[in-house]
Structure 1
Amino acid sequence: MALLALGINHKTASVEVRERVAFVPEQMAEALEQARRSASLKEVAILSTCNRTELYCSTDLAGTRALLEWLGSYHGLSADALQSCSYAYWDEEAARHMMRVASGLDSLVLGEPQILGQLKSAHAVSQQHGTLGAELGRLFQQTFAVAKQVRTDTAIGENPVSVAYAAVSLAQHIFADLSRSRALLIGAGETIELVARHLVNAGVSQITVANRTLNRAVDLAGEFNGEAILLGDIPEALVKADIVIASTASQLPILGKGAVEAALKKRKHRPIFMVDIAVPRDIEPQVAELDDIYLYTVDDLREVIEENQRNRESAAQEAEAIIETGAHEFFRQLRSLAAVDTLTALRGQAEQTRDQELERALRQLDNGKDPAQVLTQLARGLTNKLLHQPTIQMRKASAEGRSELLQAVQELYQLAGPEKTDS
């Protein structure tokens, strides 16, 4: 059985491709079962975020084509199109990749902490729907342990940076004084909560939170003395907003060009700074065509993020060393577990031979045979039967030139090799 990590991310695929391959929570149960059945997988878990979609699998298959064909079919893309922007890691490389993802080393923002929670959710969902078994389960647990060690033993999480932080940093470059700006936040999830915190720390005091459900918007807005509205109220709120940052799980754009154009007229063309963090996008790309609109997507945040990454590079090197050790240790344990079945079978065979020889010896004693002679025959019989098959196989291996088997026996039984003589 082999471990496979297959996916696309912000390094290999454009935002247009990533948003088409993203899974929403409502699709996960169906997708997990379809993937397992269509690609003949033993175990599977799916991680889907704005910057990556990855499948972690335990499989007997030698290739990735079946999985790419299923993924393409599910999302209406060709397998060839996915092949050109995907990556696949096997066994120890798969474990190493998963640990790098969990530790934030493969993220758009180096060391960002959110991905670990998203990976834990992927683990929980696959476990809930019965597509997680012993092998992947062990890999997830080792991954979580390594990620925790990285956070504890390195400075990778200090001075936290994230896509949310990068968005606010970009706003600070555009507005001289953020304390005079009003912010409209679309969505009420963890990313928007981070955005709100960074905005407040930067001096923004007027925040409006728009969400599909009002209760969640009220809860989040209340933390920052802000206003809560429904998505349908966005056109009115847009007129007052200087900063708009969107991050929802909607499959369709929430903010269109017409609504923004109408708001600009009422604002007398005072500019609006917009960041669309969502994948799929919340703001129609055509909005960027409007004068007085500064629209950025997650891909546009790279320069801000790269500057922040430089502050974490030494910590990342320390983290890589921890991950390397963790991946090696995981596969050492996996190989040890693989020996259990063989050891169990070997011990069972030896015990069966012992019981047969002991039963024969006890019968001979009951018949009055000399105990010393019985013990001698018992010892000889056990030795002959235990060594019979190994002897046959070693002679066969020697005749075929397979010296590695003889060396393995010498190592197993701590035997001295044949002495070499001077010629």
Structure 2
Amino acid sequence: MAFLALGINHKTASVDVRERVAFTPEQLVEALRQLCNLTASREAAILSTCNRSELYLEQEQISADEVLAWLAGYHNLSLEELRACAYVHQDDAAVRHMMRVASGLDSMVLGEPQILGQMKSAYAVAREAGTVGPLLGRLFQATFSTAKTVRTDTAIGENPVSVAFAAVSLAKQIFTDMHRSQALLIGAGETITLVARHLHEQGVKRIVVANRTLERARMLAEQFGAHAVLLADIPDELVNSDIVISSTASQLPILGKGAVERALKQRKHKPIFMVDIAVPRDIEPEVGELDDVYLYTVDDLHEVVAENLKSRQGAAQAAEELVGGGVVEFMQRLRELAAVDVLRAYRQQAERTRDEELAKAQRMLANGSSAEDVMAQLARGLTNKLLHAPSVQLKKLSADGRFDALAVAQELFALDEGTDKQAQ
């Protein structure tokens, strides 16, 4: 039995290579079955995200080179190219790696929570493909349990470390009741999409998405029940907006001091929280001079993110210790399970011996032997037969000079050598 975790990630491979090694959702089930059929892997799961492609395997004997060759062939890469950026972890190290990944300790953004859900999806797909058995299944469950403990017992995921999340977190400090707030988002790119998601999750009353093209604004707005407008409509929407977050690719400012001043008068100077994430800036710097406007730039948010990253890094040490404990506990339980088959076979053998000797005793009683003689014979027969095989093996081990095995036998049978000598 051996565990393997191998693959590539954002630390070891370029985006170009990661794209070529990625698995699409449609490929996974077939790839998993092929992996188990064409390699020594008895159990397998595949985790494939934008930042990593990893294979988690259980094998009778380590065959990492064989698996890497399969992975290279599947994606039409040269083995040398893949080997140059791949990593391989075995047994305890493989268990540790999986637990670190699930806990967000190996992520591009330390402590990010999405990876745990992605690992759970990888497990679910492997179960669907029929490539997860009892050993890898136990490892996944232990991994999920450890990751949950890390989330619960450390602060590794508490503070925002993305610009979008930091922007929404700052808004929450100013507007304690987000359900009564209205937001205007300028742009429709990836960052604004994340901002919209966070605002929607916070229950913001109304979200408006303004973009240069109305179709793109609508595509984003539909995801979160928002309203789509053109950039030309911003002055009208500004009057009702408590939160304004902008991130476009415009080379010139989109929102000027005059438009904000007019909106503030109509709002009777009710405060507006503004975040300009764009570079070059979308909001004229002079807007920040106005009373009742809280304007933050992308540099301000980076300071928040950097401070929060320091906090997460402090929590990472505690998380690493929890992962270490999870590895030790899992491997100990696995070793205990390894004894189950031996114990089961030993018990079955002892029960067969018992039944044989009991049958003899019953025949002796039926033939008129005294109960005392039958019990004595039963005891002798059981003792002799139960001791026969261990006695033969111990003598052989002693003759072969296997004194280490004799010491184990002493411990196994809970023998106190000093007491035995005194008794003699």
User: Hey, what does 2:177 align to over in structure 1?
Assistant: none
Q: Quick one: percent identity of the two aligned structures?
A: 54
User: Hey, what does 1:62 align to over in structure 2?
Assistant: 62
Q: Would the aligned equivalents of 2:42 and 2:57 in 1 still touch at CA under 8 Å? A: yes
Paired residues for 1:26-175 under 5 Å: 26-162=26-162, 165=165
User: Hey, what does 2:331 align to over in structure 1?
Assistant: 331
- Given the two structures, how large is their TM-score scaled by the length of structure 1? 0.72
- Given the two structures, how large is their TM-score scaled by the length of structure 2? 0.72
Q: Would the aligned equivalents of 1:112 and 1:162 in 2 still touch at CA under 8 Å? A: no
User: Hey, what does 1:288 align to over in structure 2?
Assistant: none
Aligned: 1:185 with 2:186: no
Structure 1 pair 165–85 and aligned structure 2 pair: CA distance change class (3 A): farther
SS in 2 for 1:368: coil
State the 1:361 CA deviation. Answer: 1.2
CA distance in 2, matches of 1:343, 1:180: 68
User: Hey, what does 2:227 align to over in structure 1?
Assistant: 225
Q: Would the aligned equivalents of 2:188 and 2:220 in 1 still touch at CA under 8 Å? A: no
CA distance in 2, matches of 1:136, 1:14: 29
- With 93-102 and 55-64 compared, the bigger mean Cα shift is at 55-64
Q: Would the aligned equivalents of 1:104 and 1:112 in 2 still touch at CA under 8 Å? A: yes
Structure 1 residue identity aligned to 2:209: Q
State the 1:216 CA deviation. Answer: 7.5
Q: Would the aligned equivalents of 1:109 and 1:163 in 2 still touch at CA under 8 Å? A: no
Structure 2 residue identity aligned to 1:119: M
Deviations 1:50-108 (A, max 9, x none): 11111111112423111111111121211111111111111121111111111101101
Deviations 1:16-46 (A, max 9, x none): 1111111121211221122222223111111
Q: Would the aligned equivalents of 1:35 and 1:44 in 2 still touch at CA under 8 Å? A: yes
CA distance in 2, matches of 1:163, 1:79: 38
CA distance in 2, matches of 1:136, 1:61: 15
Deviations 1:142-176 (A, max 9, x none): 1111111111111111113248658999xxxxxxx
The structure with more radius of gyration: 2
SS in 1 for 2:53: strand
Q: Would the aligned equivalents of 1:2 and 1:90 in 2 still touch at CA under 8 Å? A: yes
Q: Would the aligned equivalents of 1:36 and 1:44 in 2 still touch at CA under 8 Å? A: yes
User: Hey, what does 1:311 align to over in structure 2?
Assistant: 311
CA distance in 2, matches of 1:311, 1:332: 32
State the 1:348 CA deviation. Answer: 0.5
State the 1:194 CA deviation. Answer: 2.9
Q: Output the aligned Cα RMSD.
A: 3.8
Structure 1 pair 303–137 and aligned structure 2 pair: CA distance change class (3 A): farther
State the 1:127 CA deviation. Answer: 0.9
Structure 1 pair 158–303 and aligned structure 2 pair: CA distance change class (3 A): closer
Q: Would the aligned equivalents of 2:159 and 2:311 in 1 still touch at CA under 8 Å? A: no
Structure 2 residue identity aligned to 1:196: A
SS in 2 for 1:120: helix
SS in 2 for 1:184: coil
SS in 1 for 2:187: strand
State the 1:198 CA deviation. Answer: 5.9
Deviations 1:265-292 (A, max 9, x none): xx7x6499xxxxxxxxxxxxxxxxxxx9
* Stretches of structure 1 lacking an aligned partner (at least 5 in a row): 170-178, 229-241, 245-263, 273-291, 294-301
CA distance in 2, matches of 1:416, 1:141: 40
User: Hey, what does 1:373 align to over in structure 2?
Assistant: 373
Structure 1 pair 309–205 and aligned structure 2 pair: CA distance change class (3 A): same
- With 355-364 and 60-69 compared, the bigger mean Cα shift is at 60-69
* Stretches of structure 2 lacking an aligned partner (at least 5 in a row): 170-182, 231-245, 255-279, 282-301
Q: Would the aligned equivalents of 1:48 and 1:54 in 2 still touch at CA under 8 Å? A: yes
- With 314-323 and 411-420 compared, the bigger mean Cα shift is at 411-420
CA distance in 1, matches of 2:208, 2:229: 11
State the 1:109 CA deviation. Answer: 0.6
Structure 2 residue identity aligned to 1:143: T
CA distance in 2, matches of 1:146, 1:360: 54
Choose which of 177, 190, 206 in structure 1 pairs with 2:209.
206
SS in 2 for 1:132: coil
State the 1:10 CA deviation. Answer: 1.0
